[in-house]
Each structure stands twice: as C-alpha cells, then as structure tokens.
Structure 1
C-alpha cells in the first residue's frame, strides 16, 4: 500500500528560539506518532504558531495521528508561561489525515477559532470548528464537507462559513452558516450540479464592491465552467443566469486575483488564431482572465501562455490583447508570439535541455529549472520581465 503524503512528513529543524517548543511537543507525544500538516495547503510544517486569543502572544497548535492505537487525529495546544511551553489542551477529530486547516474568527468575538478538516479516505471528510480559551476547548460545529470557505459574503462585518458538500452523481449543495446565539445556523443553501467536479472554490471581491463565492467546475473531459454566487439578504443567488455560458471552457482554469487588484478574475481558454480546428490535446491555448462587471458581462484583464510540462508561463503585456497569435516549432522546443497580421515575431521562448545549453550572443537566458534553460532570441529587456517560472 502507498503511504499517505502526511506519513512522509518529518518535523522540520527549528531554530534555537523554538527548540524548547520541540522538546515540549516531544515530551507530550506518545512514541511512534506521525505529526500532520494540512494536505490541501501543502505546508511542510506541522507546527502552527498563531495568536488565538489576540493577546499579542502566540499559542502553538499541533496535530498528530497514532497509527498503532488508531484512535483518530489528536490536536494539542501549547501556551508559553514565563518563557516555557506548556501543554494546555488536547482535542480529537475523526480521520487519519489533516486535510484543511484555517484559523479565523467565525463567532464574532474577536478571537480565532481552529477550523480543521479531517479525511478518512478520498471521499470522506469532516470539518470541525473548535473554540479555545486558556484551560478550555469546545467543539462548536462539525459537519461533512468537500470544500469550505470563510468570508464575510454579505459584508455585514461578520464572517460566515460556507460548506460545499458533493456526492458525485447524486447531490451537490452549498450552505452558508452564521454563528448566532451560541450556535451555527444555516442562512441558506443552494443545489448545484451533482455531476460536476469542483476543482477550485474560493471567495473574495468579485466586483469593486461585491464579495462572492467562485466555483470552478469540470463537467466532462473537455467541458468546464465557473459559477459565481452572491449572498443577498442572507440568501444565496447566482450572480448571473448566463455565467455558465459566459465562462464555458475546454478545461477548468482556477479563478484567482491574477492582476493583484483585489478582485477575483475568471479564467477562460482561448484558441490562438490559426488553431481553431486543432484537437484539444494539441491546441496551445492562451489563458484569458476576466472580471465580472455585472449583469451578463465579462471584461478581459490579462492573458497568459502556460507551458506546464516545461514549467513556465509568459504574461502578455496589455497592449498585446487580441493582436497576436502563437507559432511553435515542430519539436515544440520554441514558442513564438507573432502578429496576426503579417506574422512578425514579437517575442519567443526557447526551451533547451540543461545539458545541451551553451550560452551564446544570439540568445538571452530568461531563467532555468532542473530540466531546461529558457532563452529568447528577441533583444527587448522590457519583455523579459513577463517571463515567469512555475
């Protein structure tokens, strides 16, 4: 059997200032346990220093799994007293992997709660919310989940927690919960496409003024779209009935704030001019990122060309939008950006295996990874900055 990713994680080497924390943790743990890091975040460190009670002093939160006793995940909270770490509280969760972990104020009391998602297999995940005060810890909420976000979607100054729960081919629903009168209540829920694979769920500003929930959904081998949900008068609603048609694409693209303006953009795949009749597999798509500007309209904000296999992307300067297309060499070693009218070369990226690279005056090195040196034959230092390694 393959080992889980978390079973391969080893405690990091801590600096001298944190060596006492490591000693305190080792003294509190049973022998042979596995320290856990959140799988979804890819964070290699199982040590979480966070000011839970907002007193300007960090607490330490650690999770572990005892594969011998198989008692489920255990959590530990350490506090520092007179410069020495002490175990304050322990708590439990069902599962063998720590899948998600966030610290956020979801009760409105100014303190941070521990929001932990546990996995007991690929499709079985449970979410727990813990409230800690020195000397006491309480489980406020637990539910099955597929993905979740914490955000103030209705912008009333209080965070909600929104849960997506998918049973592929049977049901899919999103529910927004608010902590009120010492319990989490469901403000509203919405049924979604039960046949969709929800590749990415995020939240934030979706216009200059509105926050929303953004879901990137794959519905077939060559079909995907993005849905945007708003919380209006504590009711979930689609930002546009036409959003599915507006955002339809051949493959899913993760929505994100690509231009760092504070607003989430929606990704779409654009076949370059000249590739309209190419197969899905051989089309060198340009990825366009669009902002929803209300009603049934999207505005193009920027474009990128991704070369995932080789490990780079090139972001188009804004003045390039809709003016260029792509050419590539037969061996796909060279990607060229050329004008649609005239086919004039504007920029190129040449991927050369590291062992074959020989610097010469006809090419400028843009960057390299462990497999390739990336170079250009175009002398234009202003364009070099648009090249990025993945």
Structure 2
C-alpha cells in the first residue's frame, strides 16, 4: 500500500471513529448524508469539528433511523454551498442535545449557529422542502426520555441570520410524505393524550406555519410502540401504527389519504397476542400487517406454550386484506418455516425433543420436521438444512414433495 492510500485510509478511519462515538470505526458514508464529500473536504470538516465540539461529547443519531448518521448535509439555501448539521450531547452532564450548524466556505467550514436544547432524545432529523419555495426546512423531533411518549416538533428556516424557528408543537408520531399527491411533502402528526384522545392530522406547511387539511381519530388507549411509513396494496401512501394494548397484546392502525380526507383504514382485525410489527415482508414495495392464530390442538394450552402461526397481509384503502405469507416462527432458536399456500391453515406444530414437526390437518401426518443441535455435536444428521454460528439445523425425515426443505429460513436471512 503506497503512502497516498495509507493517508486516505487514515482519514476514513479517523473520521469514522470520531463521528460514530464508538470503539469500532464506522464508514463515513453512514454518518454523512449525500452529496458525498471529497477527501479534502472530509478532512477539513473533521479538523473543524475537533476544534468546535468539546471533548467527551457523544454524537447522536435519530431513533429508528434506517441510515445511522450524526451529520446531515445538503445545500439547504440553494447557494451552491453545503451546510452541515451535527447533533451531539455531553452524556456525563445533563445529556442535553446540541445542534451545531456549519457552512462550507472555500477550503474550510465555518460555524453558523449552535443551539443547546433542553431535550435528551433525538427522535427525528431531516431536511425537507415543505412548501416547494426557496430552500429547505430543517425538521427536528426531540424528547425528554425513552419513557415519555410525547415529543416536540421544531421546524427551522435557514437563512443569512442562521436558524429561524417557525414551528414548535407537541406530537407522538410524525411522518413526511406526499399523501395527497400534489407534488408537495405533507406533514402527518399523531397528537393527543392517552386515555383521552389521539388524532392523526395531515398538514401543509405554508408561510412558516402548519395548516391542518384533514384529521381522523385513533384509539385513545393505545401505547404507540412502532410506526412504519409505507404503501397500501392499491398504491396509497399510509402510516402503519403498531401499538400495545394491555400487557402484551397489540393492534395495528393504518392512516391513509382517500378522496380529499385522511382516513383510518377499517382493519376488521383481531387483537394480536404479542408484538408483531408491520413491514414489507416480501420486499415488493407494499407494507404488510402481521397477525397470528392458535393452531388446532393448542386451544386450551397455557398462553406461554402456544406455538402461534403468524401471517402477514396487505390491505387496500377499503380495508380488504389479502394474505401474503404464513409462517411458523421460533425466535428462541432463530428460524422460521414459510408455509406453502396449499398448506396454509392446514398444519399444526408438534414439539419434539430438540425440534418441531408440522403435522397435517386432518390426519396429523408429519409433513415437515426441523431439529437442532450444537455445532460440536457428534449426532448424525440425515439432511442438514442450515447452519448458524452455533447451531446445525437438520431433518431426519425425507423431504415432503409439497412442503420442500427450502421453506426453512434462518431469521437472520430475512431481518
């Protein structure tokens, strides 16, 4: 390796370690939003942050963000120069979040603003052109604790004088998407107080204010656990809200836009017995909602012993559901068995020593078997299906023609 490449590698590793706040280097591409910087720009930014950010600070990434990054970059004022927004906190003191704003200036970066907040949780951070006029708005969602569901939304306008606060309001959940298909980004906020009322509202951003366009009521007793911004089967943008009800049960609510109004999709669903989050389970661009049922023969078993069969369904704006997949999932051992269409609702699990069998209904004939053993075991396996880090998954039964071994998956393959 020549000196030129050694120097480049040193810059990348140093920048990754410094910005990630971890002991292991993380790629700068995971910390700096596009457009990407040249090596010299990265080095200048790194040097500037070393001078401006006090020692011992911890760089912060938004909760639940798909891309883990602490630095957000874009030309927010359309002047041909990049702005950088850096979020960090001092964990050994009060843990309050700081927002540092820098601007590219020829070969250097200049500090434009430094905001110290009274919040400790970074729920959301992004830049959006909410009104399709001029530059972009800086959107920040902050909270005081992981145990406090209410957050605070701040929308800033960036200009010659730095950051100007335009919106400051409470929320529980938020999403940014073009729900009404008018080529502008809409703001969807879930607001309210548990046991009183929750409302999902669709807003347009106009002249520095959020203007409500439509709203719909949600379950007032739900603990909002997880949300996914996705798409219904018939193409509409939608917000999927998975919430706890009681000790361990869960419901899913879907909010979408239909014929000029925000609507709550009629799910006509049973309460789920445990948390099963909505997701695009088959990677087709449509978000599916999870469900489950008690297989035959387990109706009177204690709850903790029931081997639930899980399924995922896509929904249309009318609420009509279409099952996409059905599976038996064993999270303790890290695998799932995808049930072929012809066998859906026609199998029941039977627990055996270090394994599980799926029996046909009716008849209770074994049509699929999976067993597991330690990798160091001397046990002879007829068919080895998969190997994880510590476990061999195998079957000693012949492959059933309509229920092939390929239906077995490790959870790490899918998630």
Is 2:218–2:264's contact at 8 Å kept on the other side of the alignment? no
Closer/same/farther in 2, CA of residues 42 and 268 from structure 1, 3 Å limit = same
Which among 127, 142, 148 is matched to residue 118 of structure 1? Answer: 142
Secondary structure at the aligned position of 2:50 is classed as: helix
Q: Which residue of 2 aligns with 1:364?
A: 384
Shift of the alpha carbon at 1:259?
Answer: 1.8
Q: Is 2:393 the partner of 1:374?
A: yes
C-alpha change, 1:293 and 1:189, in structure 2 (3 Å) is closer
In structure 2, runs of 5+ residues without a counterpart are: 1-19, 29-37
| Aligned partners of 1:150 and 1:161 also within 8 Å | yes
- Pairwise CA RMSD: 3.3
Secondary structure (helix, strand or coil) at the match of 1:261 reads coil
Deviations 1:305-351 (Å, cap 9, x if unpaired)? 2222232333333443223222222x5x3122332233343333323
1:186-205 → structure 2 map (5 Å cutoff): 186-205=212-231
Name the stretch that deviates more: 311-320 or 193-202: 311-320
Counterparts of residues 252-271 of structure 1 (less than 5 Å): 252-271=275-294
Asked whether the equivalents of residues 48 and 109 of structure 2 are also in contact (C-alpha less than 8 Å), the reply is: yes
Q: How does 1:266-281 map to 2 (within 5 A)?
A: 266-281=289-304
Paired with 2:371 and 2:272, the residues of 1 have a C-alpha distance of: 28
8 Å Cα contact 1:317/1:386 also seen in 2: no
2:338 counterpart (312, 315, 328): 315
Asked whether the 8 Å contact 2:60–2:122 carries over to 1, the reply is yes
Say yes or no: does 1:10 pair with 2:32.
no
Give the distance between the partners of 2:219 and 2:206, measured in 1 at CA.
Answer: 30
Instruction: Map 1:183-222 to 2 at 5 A.
Output: 183-221=209-247
- 1:153 maps to 179
Mapped to 2, the partners of 1:335 and 1:52 lie a distance apart of: 56
Please give the secondary structure, in 2, of the residue aligned with 1:275.
coil
CA contact (8 A) 2:381 2:395 kept: no
TM-score, structure 1 length as denominator? 0.82
Mark the runs of 5 or more structure 1 residues left unpaired by the alignment: 1-7
Q: CA separation of 1:62/1:347 partners in 2, compared to 1, >3 Å: closer, same or farther?
A: farther
2:158 matches 1:132? yes
1:287 corresponds to 2:310: yes
* SS state at 2:277 partner: coil
